[in-house]
Amino acid sequence: MSEKEKKGELADDLAHLLADTYVLALKTQNYHWNVTGPFFPSFHKLFEEQYSLLIEASDAIAERIRTLGFIAPGGCAVFSKLSKLKEETGAPSAEEMVKNLASDHCRLIEIVYEIIEASQEEGDEGTTDFLVERLREHEKTLWMLESTIKA
């Protein structure tokens, strides 16, 4: 396999991660708008911080794809096809929102690990380094979400 084909596979993996990240950002923003209950102020603020970070991450992922020499995908229809995460169409309880987001971050942690492995196999230190930082962010967010619902 040529070097360009190897980078293309990595860029494709990153395109799926970009779609997952963007879908999660939109879900988190939806929850920010629609959360209710006794913990509204803290959840509203937490979700806003998280969707803002996810939007920044989407930009960084797209730029990494461009750095590899490929076109970054864009648009809701494209992201919907590429994403493994499900969009939210309703307004679950605040606790269910937190559980859903935690589950999605767990899934993204798994996906990022898989792409790290692929980037290491290709000897792409730049992508590996980039992904390790993404991994840290998802792990921290997961910890924060899980901590909000523990008794």
Cα distance between residue 14 and residue 61, in whole Å: 7
CB 65 within 8 A of CB 72: yes
pLDDT in tens, 66-95: 999 999 999 999 999 999 999 888 889 999
**Domains contained in the chain, number:** 1
CB 56 within 8 A of CB 129: no
Sign of CA dihedral 136, 49, 35, 41: positive
88's tokens:
């939210």
Q: What CATH code is carried by the domain that includes residue 16?
A: 1.20.1260.10
Distance CA 141, CA 135 (A): 10
Query: For the segment 18-56, what is each residue's pLDDT rounded down to a tens digit?
Result: 999 999 999 999 999 999 999 899 999 999 999 999 999
Structural domain boundaries enclosing 43: 3-149
What percent of the chain clears pLDDT 70, i.e. is strictly above it? Answer: 99
